[in-house]
Amino acid sequence: MSEVAKTGLIHLSHVRASYLYCFEPYTAKPSPQNPNPSPVFTCHFLMAPDHPDLKKVAAAIEAVGSAHQWKGGLTWEMAKAQIKGKDALCLHRGDVTKAGAPEYAGLYFLSGNNKKRFTIIDGDRSPLTAADGRPYSGCYVNAIVDIYAQDNSFGKRINATITGIQFLRHAEAFGGGAPPADPNEFGVVAGSADQPAPAASVDPLAGLV
């Protein structure tokens, strides 16, 4: 996939989907901070510490945070310290944010959502519906997300809007059970889709999360 020339818009390749609501939206439970939550389409994209796309995520967060004019005269470094302290970056350590969840152990994840239903396609770019049985939580996908700064009465955050997901390959569905379809029933995504993602040589997130 080619990179998109926009500060916060990035491609994620060969990431595992979790907490995926792509055909019907998810509505959170009301809280004092958000008494009337809006339904959203959402996903967590799981990545191992050596996944090369973590560099792109970290770079996009830094670019977006540095470019934003933070309220209160805060510099990005000052705002980042506040945001990190509240775990309000869209990039999280699974062992911290999802402590005790085995599917998140030892991994990072990027959390994203969209109030509108984002694009959902198969490996050949054909549209997918719920009846196709994919994508699902546990499968591998490619995704496009738009990272942006939030700086309003609801607080300071670095968020991610999901603009599209492409099904890549089957894996064990989270929550137990087998994938909803046999991979041999479908065409193969061109290239090395079934190979492990290439490893990064250094930790791209030092000092960020």
What number is the average pLDDT over the span 71-82? 96
Cα separation, 67 vs 203, in Å, equals 24
Picking from 106, 132, 110, 109, the residue whose alpha carbon sits closest to that of residue 120 is 132
Please give the sequence-ordered ranges of beta strands (E in DSSP) within the chain, or none if there are none: 9-26, 40-47, 91-93, 108-114, 119-121, 140-152, 155-169
| Mean pLDDT for all residues in the chain | 87
The pairing of beta strand 155-169 with beta strand 119-121:
parallel
196 has a pLDDT exceeding 70? no
Phi, psi of 80 (to 5 degrees): -60, -40
The pairing of beta strand 40-47 with beta strand 155-169:
unpaired
Alpha-carbon separation of residue 76 from 19, 56, 70, 169 (angstroms):
30, 18, 7, 38
9-27+35-185 has CATH 2.40.50.140 classification: yes
100 has a pLDDT exceeding 90? yes
Query: What are the tens digits of pLDDT across the range 135-177?
Result: 999 999 999 999 999 999 889 999 999 999 999 999 999 974 4
Residue that wins the pLDDT comparison between 196 and 173? 173
88 has a pLDDT exceeding 60? yes
User: Do 157 and 150 form a contact (C-beta atoms < 8 A)?
Assistant: yes
Give the pLDDT confidence score for residue 64 in this predicted structure: 96
Q: Percentage of the chain surpassing pLDDT 90? A: 74
98 has a pLDDT exceeding 80? yes
Give the pLDDT confidence score for residue 35 in this predicted structure: 87
What number is the average pLDDT over the span 175-188? 53
Reported as a pLDDT band with limits 50, 70 and 90, residue 195 is low
Give the pLDDT confidence score for residue 205 in this predicted structure: 66
Residue with tokens 């894996």: 171
4 has a pLDDT exceeding 50? no
Both tokens of 209, joined, read 């999360």
Q: Report CA 111 to chain centroid distance, whole Å.
A: 4
Give the pLDDT confidence score for residue 175 in this predicted structure: 74
Domain residue spans of the chain = 9-27+35-185
Query: What are the tens digits of pLDDT across the range 16-54?
Result: 999 999 999 999 898 887 889 899 999 999 999 999 999
What number is the average pLDDT over the span 199-206? 61
pTM of the model: 0.82
198 has a pLDDT exceeding 60? no
